[in-house]
Amino acid sequence: MEFHHVMEAAGVVVLGLVFYSYSSRWFAPGAWPGPRWRHATNGLAFGALAVVLMISRIEVAKGVFIDARAVPVALVALVEGWPAGLVAGLVAIAYRLWLGGPGALAGVVGLLGTALVGALAHVWAQRDGRVTARHALALAAAAWVVAAVSFAVLGARGFAMFQPLAVPFLVMNLVGIGLGAHLFRDVVDSRAADAALRETAELRAITLLARAAAHEINNPLMIVTGGLSILVKRLPAGSEEAQWAERAREGAGRIRDIVGRMNEITRVEEVPPQGSLPPMLDLRKSSRKSSGGHASDTAR
């Protein structure tokens, strides 16, 4: 085996890792551009890496070559899901069809199958909460099975071709996908940690501002509430002025509930934009207090 070929392939995978570490920051959750652009960008990039790996083949014996095209396709499908995996697979398929030859169909089957098993591994990892070694090794084994099936498309000749390549393909998948998934998981975990830090900083800023505003509102509010209570007692019962004063006191009570919620903010929940109104903080959902009374009407 030509180890400089192996080092070239490893360098290409590391290049993909570096790119993904940057792209994960370009496409922050909730920011523009959205997930579709993230999937398209990562899919195109990893599809291009698969093409480079098809060109930079690994010689495992005299005149016998394999390539690591499946590794970037499997990795991007594992960490990003089926849209990115499909885009990467289609880019690599386009190049393989352009090359032509009797093995083109087998190459297409192998790339599509790799994207599929990568997407299934992504769903599995999401259900478990994160990508682990179990998901990566299972994906490596599944990608090896896909490679065997793709050779079987060629019939007996393909089976005979795959026999001496079975072990090199297995080792390549275990090392490339297994180690690559571990490194990519670190990037994903780092992105999640950064997002958590941003959310914490955002919550702290909102909490400090809300508490300061609540403190400033509460002092004059107590004066107004006390004055209205005295006024209601002194006005003739049932008079129009007494009814107005009572409504004003109820309104002050609702403001007091809102001020209380402003002091109990524990998370950030937004009200979606409505017409000309921009998105704003939903006090009812963001505070520890349960909804009740008039607060649910004035919490937004």
**Is residue 295 pLDDT above 60, yes or no?**
no
Do 51 and 188 lie in one domain? The reply is yes
Question: Do residues 252 and 178 both lie within one domain?
Answer: no
Decide which of 143, 174, 195 is a domain's last residue: 195
Range of lowest pLDDT (9-23, 57-71, 160-174, 184-198)? 184-198
> What DSSP designation does 165 have?
G
Query: With a threshold of 0.85, does the pTM exceed it?
Result: no
Domain boundary among 134, 168, 195: 195
Question: Which residues is 65 bridged to in the sheet?
Answer: 59
Backbone torsions φ then ψ of 103, nearest 5 degrees = -95, 10
Residues 40, 104 share a domain: yes
CATH of the domain at 107: 1.10.1760.20
Residues 215, 243, single domain; the answer is: yes
Phi first, then psi: what are they for 238, rounded to 5°? 85, -5
Residues 60 and 85 in one domain: yes
Q: Residue 45: its pLDDT value, please? A: 95
Cβ-contact 151, 162 below 8 angstroms: yes
Number of compact structural domains in the chain: 2
Would the pLDDT of 14 be above 80? yes
Does residue 145 sit in the same domain as residue 78?
yes
C-alpha to C-alpha distance for 144 and 70, rounded to whole angstroms: 9
The dihedral through the CA atoms of 142, 2, 98, 14 has a sign that is positive
Among the candidates 167, 195, 223, a domain finishes at 195
Q: What's the CA dihedral at 27, 139, 150, 46 to 10 degrees? A: 20
Co-location of 117 and 241 in the same domain:
no
More confident residue, 273 or 252: 252
18 and 164 share a domain?
yes
Confidence class of residue 29 from pLDDT cuts 50, 70 and 90? low
Distance CA 53, CA 176 (A): 12
Mean pLDDT score of the chain: 84
Give mean pLDDT, residues 192-210. 78
pLDDT digits (tens, 9 = 90+) for 77-104: 999 999 999 999 999 999 999 999 888 9
C-beta pairs of 135-139 under 8 Å, 24+ apart in sequence: 135/78, 135/181, 136/78, 136/177, 136/178, 136/180, 136/181, 136/182, 137/174, 137/178, 139/74, 139/78, 139/177, 139/181
> Which residue segment(s) compose the domain that 104 sits in?
3-195
Is residue 148 located within the same domain as residue 169?
Answer: yes
pLDDT range class, residue 32, cuts 50, 70, 90: low
